[in-house]
């Protein structure tokens, strides 16, 4: 519980796998590679990624928290957040570019983080082409002087020196000052959120005697957060732009779902105890929703 985008997709086979023949009468669309079924070479995945049990000595699904990494990819003057994700059900490397220019590489069994990074780098031209299309349909570019919501305050982007910007107390490295600064600023803020938001979730969970199995920070466009029945909480990195009371409200909202996986009266009563001033926070979020990134 909690508060599908069109994507450009480019798949690729795992090196060493043979794809079955295909009918040449069905050409591959420009910018894509035909999606061909492959047999996943389970035995090639390093043993450190697998969990085994006495009942089942075979390979099991890797823990996602151990098999993901987020870095930034430089292409055409843009800094694109690059997520490298292992998926035991994948049959090939798969490259996705979302409308917000977030890059995601799905890594199949037998693949590696380094292989995923190299796969993305081999297709920089494809990424640049589609990133430019996304950028053409986006909002005004960010420049020094642009005001950005950060920690609940409209904060002005200012030059710190020729290679970095200042956003409040944050110093943000800039590799190409002549392009839209938004992707580089977003990439920096998402790294901060990936550190700070999970820490705050665990603080509030401990304060209220709750247990959370896992916390992830993502780039959702339709919700601020979510909570699964297994106790896993996912948060939108844009919570970093909200004031503390609004940020805590979203977190406590998801923590309340640990006890009530619905929005029943019991849920709202639980939330009222956890966050007595939640209506004020809710109002701030509704009022400023469109102004956030």
Question: Percentage of the chain surpassing pLDDT 70?
Answer: 72
Q: What is the 3-state secondary structure (H, E, C) of 3-49?
A: CCCCCEEEEEECCCCCCCCCCCCCCCCCCCCCCCCCCCCHHHCCHHH
Q: What is the CATH number of the domain that holds 266?
A: 3.30.2010.10
Q: What is the rounded average pLDDT of the residues 96-114?
A: 88
21 falls within a domain: no
Residues of the domain holding 68: 4-10+63-138
Asked if the model's pLDDT at residue 36 lies above 50, the reply is: no
Residues 201 and 281 in one domain: yes
36 falls within a domain: no
Residues 201 and 284 in one domain: yes
Helix (H, G, I), strand (E, B) or coil at 250: helix
Predicted model pTM: 0.56
270 falls within a domain: yes
Cβ-contact 212, 233 below 8 angstroms: yes
Asked if the model's pLDDT at residue 65 lies above 90, the reply is: no
Residues 129 and 175 in one domain: no
pLDDT computed for residue 70 by the predictor = 65
Helix (H, G, I), strand (E, B) or coil at 208: coil
In sequence order, the 6+-apart residues with CB closer than 8 A to the CB of 94 are 9, 10, 11, 12, 105, 106
Residue 292 DSSP symbol: -
Residues 251 and 282 in one domain: yes
171 falls within a domain: yes
58 falls within a domain: no
Asked if the model's pLDDT at residue 235 lies above 70, the reply is: yes
Residues 209 and 262 in one domain: yes
202 falls within a domain: yes
**How does pLDDT run across 273-289, given as a tens digit for each residue?**
999 989 999 999 988 88
Residues 199 and 285 in one domain: yes
Choose one of 127, 161, 187: the last residue of a domain. 187
Residues 112 and 170 in one domain: no
pLDDT computed for residue 126 by the predictor = 87
127: confidence class by pLDDT, cuts 50, 70, 90: confident
Q: Which of 33, 236, 237, 31 is nearest to 132 (CA)?
A: 31
110 falls within a domain: yes
265 falls within a domain: yes
For residue 210, how far is the Cα from the chain centroid?
25
Residue 157 DSSP symbol: -
- Counting the structural domains of the chain, the total is 3
């Amino acid at each position: 519980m909690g508060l599908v985008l069109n994507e450009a997709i480019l798949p690729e086979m795992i090196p060493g796998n043979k794809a079955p023949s295909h009918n040449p009468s069905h050409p591959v669309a420009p910018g894509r590679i035909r999606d061909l079924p492959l047999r996943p070479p389970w035995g090639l995945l390093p043993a450190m990624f697998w969990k085994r049990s006495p009942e089942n000595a075979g390979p099991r699904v890797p823990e996602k928290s151990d098999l993901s990494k987020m870095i930034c990819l430089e292409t055409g003057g843009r800094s694109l957040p690059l997520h490298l994700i292992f998926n035991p059900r994948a049959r090939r490397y798969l490259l996705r570019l979302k409308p917000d220019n977030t890059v995601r590489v799905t890594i199949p069994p037998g693949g590696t983080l380094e292989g995923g990074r190299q796969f993305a780098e081999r297709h920089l031209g494809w990424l640049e082409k589609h990133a430019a299309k996304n950028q053409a349909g986006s909002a005004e570019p960010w420049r020094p002087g642009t005001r950005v919501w950060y920690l609940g305050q409209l904060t002005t982007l200012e030059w710190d020196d020729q290679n970095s910007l200042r956003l409040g107390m944050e110093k943000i490295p800039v590799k190409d000052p002549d392009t839209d600064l938004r992707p580089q600023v977003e990439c920096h803020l998402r790294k901060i959120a990936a550190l700070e938001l999970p820490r705050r979730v665990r603080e509030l969970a401990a304060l209220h005697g709750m247990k959370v199995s896992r916390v992830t920070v993502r780039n959702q466009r339709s919700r601020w957060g979510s909570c699964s029945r297994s106790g896993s909480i996912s948060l939108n990195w844009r919570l970093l732009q909200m004031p503390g009371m609004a940020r805590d409200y979203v977190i406590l909202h998801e923590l309340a779902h640990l006890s009530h996986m619905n929005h029943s009266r019991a849920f709202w009563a639980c939330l009222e105890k956890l966050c007595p001033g939640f209506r004020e926070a809710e109002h701030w979020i509704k009022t400023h929703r469109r102004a956030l990134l």
